[in-house]
Amino acid sequence: MFSFVIKRLLGLIPTLLLVAVLVFLFVHLLPGDPARLAAGPEADDKTVALVRADLGLDKPLPEQFVNFFINAAKGDFGKSIRSKRPVSEEIAARFWPTLWLTIVAMIWAVLFGLIIGISSAVWRNKWPDRLGMTLAVSGISFPAFSLGILLMQVFSVELGWLPTVGDETWRHYILPSLTLGAAVAAVMARFTRSSFIEILQEDFVRTARAKGLTETVVVIKHCLRNALIPVVTMMGLQFGFLLGGSILVEVVFNWPGMGRLLVDAVEMRDYPIIQAEILLFSLEFIFINLVVDVLYAVINPSIRFK
């Protein structure tokens, strides 16, 4: 198991390097001169030259990249153009609210997705299936931002049951995580259904039934574990979707997370923040996929020895 994790970690290195290069080049692809942007619109040429030297932008590209890489490894991304505070500080305050939001959304998305998917497969072409799949295709088609606005209107404004914005208590988490998780729950439900239908036709299921096990035991004990393998892979892919979706949901619910910071940064052309955020989002996504790979190996022992 340990060597499996190490192997996966080593396999990530080329991807990580390419991501780092892309994020580094990002600043150089921008229209205009990053030094002039950092110095501000009123700065004269002398100041711009000073800022350029200060940011290290006058050095050759490979050297700049090495510096960027070393600084990034130390968690130093420079200063925000807007607030003049270190980027790492700005992001640190925003990191956990986003991570918690995505995790809560993922937990209930998987839970609902599994329940809907399994009941749809077990009662195939009957009403639970039709209801579940109608919900699922609607969930995929409903954009998170309009779902969030509508949920907020109904539950916070009209009924007054839940708070509208902020992240102080668990009640604040309900609407944003529901909004964020809806599409993923829908994808999970569809995916679980098709994977479960295939498994229900396997020989071992017939054997289990033939030896007189109840249908509940067959479904929960014999099918679920096998059906989980593709579902777990799907979970990893969907996590990226959640991270991306959190950007929109955070804007709707005024959530103090990384997504809202990113949107503000793009509007303000605050490049150091954008750069650090893109890197962080990608790292988080890559890391989650690693976790998923390991989980996958836990569920399916045959993977570990390949």
Partner 1 sequence: MSLSNSPLATTSETGAPLPPPDPAAVAASGQKIRTPWREFWRKFKKQRLAVYAGVFILLLILIAILAPWIVPFDAENFFDYDALNSPPTWTHWFGVDSLGRDIFSRILMGARISLASGFFSVAIGAVIGTVFGLLAGYYEGWWDRIVMRICDVLFAFPGILLAIGIVAILGGGMINVIISVSVFSIPAFARLVRGNTLQLKNLTYIEATRSIGASDTTIMWKHIFPGTISAIVVYFTMRIGTSIITAAGLSFLGLGAQSPTPEWGLMLNEARADMVTSPHVALVPSIAIFLTVLAFNLLGDGLRDALDPKIDQR
* CB nearer to partner 1: pick between 177 and 289: 289
User: Candidates 62-70, 116-124, 212-220, 270-278 — which segment interacts with partner 1 by CB under 8 A?
Assistant: 270-278
- Vertex 129, ends 126 and 130: CA angle to 5°? 85
* CB nearer to partner 1: pick between 162 and 263: 263
Site string for partner 1, 21-60 (x = CB under 8 A): -x---x--xxx-----------------------------
Name all contacts of 303-306 with Cβ < 8 Å and 24+ positions apart. Answer: 304/1, 304/4
Q: Report d(CA 242, CA 194) in Å as an integer.
A: 22
Length in residues, the chain: 306
Residues 104-143 that bind partner 1 (CB under 8 A): 137-138, 140-143
Told to check if 292 binds partner 1 by CB under 8 A, we report no
* CB nearer to partner 1: pick between 19 and 294: 19
* CB nearer to partner 1: pick between 135 and 224: 135
3-state SS, one letter per residue, for 27-70: HHHCCCCHHHHHHCCCCCHHHHHHHHHHHCCCCCHHHHHHHHHH
Told to check if 145 binds partner 1 by CB under 8 A, we report yes
* CB nearer to partner 1: pick between 141 and 302: 141
Closest contact distance (angstroms) between CB of 180 and partner 1 is: 12
* 191 within 8 A of 241, measured Cβ to Cβ: no
For residue 85, which amino acid is it? R
* CB nearer to partner 1: pick between 208 and 248: 248
Told to check if 251 binds partner 1 by CB under 8 A, we report yes
State the residue for tokens 């998305």.
109
Q: How many binding residues for partner 1 (CB under 8 A)?
A: 43
* CB nearer to partner 1: pick between 49 and 155: 155
Residues 154-213 that bind partner 1 (CB under 8 A): 157
Closest contact distance (angstroms) between CB of 219 and partner 1 is: 24
> Between the CA of residue 50 and those of 56, 81, 149, what are the distances in Å?
10, 16, 47
Told to check if 266 binds partner 1 by CB under 8 A, we report yes
Name all contacts of 3-7 with Cβ < 8 Å and 24+ positions apart. Answer: 4/294, 4/297, 4/304, 5/294
Told to check if 18 binds partner 1 by CB under 8 A, we report yes
- Vertex 186, ends 264 and 128: CA angle to 5°? 155
* CB nearer to partner 1: pick between 106 and 243: 243
Closest contact distance (angstroms) between CB of 50 and partner 1 is: 25
Main-chain phi, psi angles of 86, to 5 degrees: -60, 140
First to last CA, the chain: 12
Per DSSP (E only), the strands in 107-170 are: none
Residues in contact with partner 1 by the rule CB under 8 A: 14-15, 18-19, 22, 26, 29-31, 137-138, 140-146, 149-150, 152-153, 157, 240-241, 243-245, 247-248, 251, 262-263, 266-267, 269, 271, 274, 278, 281-282, 285-286
